[in-house]
Amino acid sequence: MKQSNPIFKRSMAIFGLLALFACAIVFKIFQIQVLEGTKWKEKAKSQSAAYKNIDAVRGNIYADDGSLLATSVPIYEVRMDLKTEALTDEIFEANVDSLAESLSGLFKDRTPFEWKIRLTEARERGDRYHLIQRKVRYNELKALRQFPIFKRGRYKGGLIYLQQNKREKPFKVLAARTIGYTREGIKPVGLEGAYNKELSGVSGKRLMQKIAGGVWMPLNDENEIEPIDGADLYTTLDINIQDVAEKALERQLSMHQADHGCVVLMEVETGEVKAIANLSRTKRGEYYEIYNYAVGESTEPGSTFKLAPYMAAIEDGYIDLTDSIDTERGKFKFYDTYMYDSHEGGFGKISVQRAFEVSSNIAVAKIINENYGKNPQAFIDHLYKIGLNTPLGLEIYGEGSPQIKSTSSKSWSGITLPWMSHGYEVAMTPLQILTLYNAVGNNGRMVKPRFVREVGRMGKVQKEFEPSVLNEKICSDRTLTKLKAMLEGVVENGTARNLKNAHFKIAGKTGTAQIANDKYGYKYKSKVSYQASFVGYFPAEKPKYSCIVVVNAPSRNVYYGNLVAGPIFKEIADKVYATSIDIHDEIQSVDIAGRIKIPVSKNSYTKDLETVFNSLNIPYVLRSADGTWARTITQAEEVEVYRQKVLSGMVPNVQGMNIQDALFILENHGLQVEIQGSGMVKKQSLKAGQKFNQGQHIRIELS
């Protein structure tokens, strides 16, 4: 028998062992990838680390006097790593009772015993990211960081906290829809949405690990890349006028049980929106800001549109104010359709000026039909030239589109031209109508409504917004003079005589439009609702502000613009005029003081005013937010005191103050003051609420 080679045997043994090892490796690979694949994939995911975005603190939104309209308040989510290596059983057992008692005292949601059981069970489970509390305020976090165990820090005590930012509006519902909001999955609203990029800032980065349950836990105390806070927005809104506008609108809506309404007050020269209110009736019968009607609701405006046809006819030389027009007997047939005037029996033969003052539908329809009937596109082109067919291009999303149809439109008919002339078969938003009237008050210069004055960061201006001109001249000066006379005549002698004011003149136009039912159109009167409006500017001699009021679907059989919308306009105009010293003259101020039973007070230190009023038994009511200084409005029965804060780095509003108070505020803010005249501060060269540099010069004029 042949003997085996020992070397061969050893080689075979080694080969066999290698083969077995290889088979074991193959089997293990198969086991890991196939048999246990799901398990290991989940474990790999649970232990993965990644950089996660950390949101920056969103910028603030301010009113024109520096009052906060929206701000971000930091809140925290607090968790605990109960298995951190430095937290031994001895340390935990020695301190868990006092920690539980501290947590119970701070949050008051569990007893100390319940907190102890919860923490102990979480430690036994080995929780690395146990939830302690959500929505923790900064002062609560500050206290919590001094609690037993937690005061040892992140790695020794297991304390983990993540900052989140909650958006708050200090004035709650005031201008809520215009301020707006941004929410994930929802179209952005208002200024928050329009300036989301500027307000958002730049996100930071933090290294986090995904643990069991799909929860991401931070690996370090600090962010790897710190976020850059968002920029601040300085709006044109005047919080005191805004308050007046909303209260006046709400009162009138409630009185007439109207469906909804809106108000916009704008500065004539700059287009700065000083107040914008939009209120809708809820199922409970209360009013709340649900939709921005002033910006988004494009409807048939009715008689407020008549200004445009008259402008076209006067500019093209077809009519003059003294020309006569026959309004028949308040009823006139265009083709197969009758048109009516609101005054039963009509107005007979009247002048063009008078036709506008009494808002005759037949008069304007006959003027436009007779002069443009053979070439209606010439009339349409004139409206286009003014810019009435073009959206304003507002920064706020959701502007309604104006509808000024062309003769090539499929819906054009024989009665379109006369019906367009008095505000039907066209559609415009309240803000678009206001922009037209504002242009007349601004000597023909049409400016874009503006909500934001500047964007800044850390007190430094990054971007400043100047007035934007949409149309340098909507018509000739000759036409403008006549239009202004017509608008003043409406209040002095026409449909808005109830708005006539002894102290200053208002120029404007009433509007009462039928709003067709979506299903029945205008067929059934019982299905038709009304829209009452008034739009104009004041003081008429030297326009400072323009304003529009629109009330939709008043339901108590009173729906005319002068009776429903007019009183809102008048209340706002009166209060704005009373607080705008720069548009008064000295004689008017003395005259007003002589007519009021309650003594007129100057703007001054809030506590001093209260002391004087209490000593003299003068009735007064405190309005608006807290503030050291105050503006006053003297009414027939009481004095309204509007408190206001004087913010560092912003020009204070000293109009209406005596020279001592004005100097004290301005000089303590670091401004160099030049004084002209004597008496009460009538005008200041630097606008209230704007940024200034230390030592900057300001001139105040006294009356």
Note the pLDDT tens digit of each residue in 479-510: 999 999 999 999 999 999 999 987 899 999 99
pTM: 0.75
Position 529 scores a pLDDT of 78
Residue 39 contacts by C-beta under 8 Å, 6 or more apart in sequence?
none
Where is pLDDT greater, at 691 or 255?
A: 255
Do 538 and 437 form a contact (C-beta atoms < 8 A)? Answer: no
Position 590 scores a pLDDT of 42
C-alpha to C-alpha distance for 298 and 429, rounded to whole angstroms = 4
Q: Give the angle subtended at the CA of 239 by the CAs of 617 and 645, to the nearest 5°.
A: 65
Its CATH class, for the domain covering 600-702, is: alpha beta
Is the pLDDT score of 657 beyond 80? yes
Task: Give me the residue label for tokens 């038709």.
Answer: 528
Position 525 scores a pLDDT of 46
C-alpha to C-alpha distance for 215 and 208, rounded to whole angstroms = 10
Most confident of 73-82, 390-399, 628-637: 390-399
* Amino acid present at 564: V
User: Per DSSP, what are the bridge partners of residue 533?
Assistant: 511, 550
Quote the tokens at residue 203.
């996100």
Domain boundaries in the chain? 51-235, 239-579, 600-702
Do 325 and 366 form a contact (C-beta atoms < 8 A)? Answer: yes
Where is pLDDT greater, at 444 or 699?
A: 444
Where is pLDDT greater, at 186 or 547?
A: 547
Where is pLDDT greater, at 166 or 446?
A: 446
The superfamily in CATH containing domain 239-579 is DD-peptidase/beta-lactamase superfamily (3.40.710.10)
Do 508 and 536 form a contact (C-beta atoms < 8 A)? Answer: yes
Is the pLDDT score of 523 beyond 70? no
Its CATH class, for the domain covering 51-235, is: alpha beta
Strands 331-334, 337-340: pairing kind: antiparallel
Task: Name the band, by pLDDT with cuts 50, 70 and 90, for residue 594.
Answer: very low
Task: Name the band, by pLDDT with cuts 50, 70 and 90, for residue 522.
Answer: very low
Is the pLDDT score of 140 beyond 70? yes
C-alpha to C-alpha distance for 614 and 489, rounded to whole angstroms = 44
Task: Give me the residue label for tokens 């968790």.
Answer: 79
Do 284 and 252 form a contact (C-beta atoms < 8 A)? Answer: no
Is the pLDDT score of 586 beyond 60? no
Mean pLDDT over each residue of the chain, to the nearest integer: 86
C-alpha to C-alpha distance for 373 and 417, rounded to whole angstroms = 8
Position 520 scores a pLDDT of 36
Q: Is the dihedral of CA 451, 455, 460, 462 positive or negative?
A: negative
Position 82 scores a pLDDT of 92
Is the pLDDT score of 262 beyond 50? yes
Backbone phi, psi, residue 168, to 5°: -130, 145
Task: Name the band, by pLDDT with cuts 50, 70 and 90, for residue 595.
Answer: very low
Backbone phi, psi, residue 381, to 5°: -60, -35
Quote the tokens at residue 275.
């107040």
C-alpha to C-alpha distance for 413 and 399, rounded to whole angstroms = 28
Task: Give me the residue label for tokens 């006046």.
Answer: 248
Indicate the range of 24-33, 344-353, 375-384 predicted with least confidence. Answer: 24-33
CA separation, residue 517 to residues 165, 291, 398 (Å)? 45, 20, 23
Backbone phi, psi, residue 508, to 5°: 180, -170
Position 264 scores a pLDDT of 98
Do 506 and 499 form a contact (C-beta atoms < 8 A)? Answer: yes
Q: What is the mean pLDDT of residues 117-141?
A: 92
C-alpha to C-alpha distance for 298 and 389, rounded to whole angstroms = 12
Do 454 and 651 form a contact (C-beta atoms < 8 A)? Answer: no
Indicate the range of 259-273, 544-558, 587-601 predicted with least confidence. Answer: 587-601
Position 47 scores a pLDDT of 54
Task: Name the band, by pLDDT with cuts 50, 70 and 90, for residue 368.
Answer: very high
Q: What percent of the chain is modeled with pLDDT above 90?
A: 54
Where is pLDDT greater, at 677 or 508?
A: 508
Position 461 scores a pLDDT of 86
Q: Which among 626, 694, 633, 632 is positioned nearest to 67, based on CA atoms?
A: 626
pLDDT in tens, 288-340: 999 999 999 999 999 999 999 999 999 999 999 999 999 998 999 999 899 99
pLDDT in tens, 9-18: 777 777 777 7
Position 267 scores a pLDDT of 97
Position 593 scores a pLDDT of 44
Position 611 scores a pLDDT of 81
CA separation, residue 660 to residues 290, 319, 627 (Å)? 45, 56, 19
Q: What percent of the chain is modeled with pLDDT above 70?
A: 87
Task: Name the band, by pLDDT with cuts 50, 70 and 90, for residue 625.
Answer: low
Indicate the range of 200-204, 211-215, 379-383, 420-424 predicted with least confidence. Answer: 211-215
Q: What is the mean pLDDT of residues 234-243?
A: 93
Position 618 scores a pLDDT of 83
C-alpha to C-alpha distance for 644 and 688, rounded to whole angstroms = 12
Q: What is the mean pLDDT of residues 204-230?
A: 67
Asked whether the domain spanning 600-702 has the same topology as the one spanning 51-235, the reply is no
C-alpha to C-alpha distance for 11 and 5, rounded to whole angstroms = 10
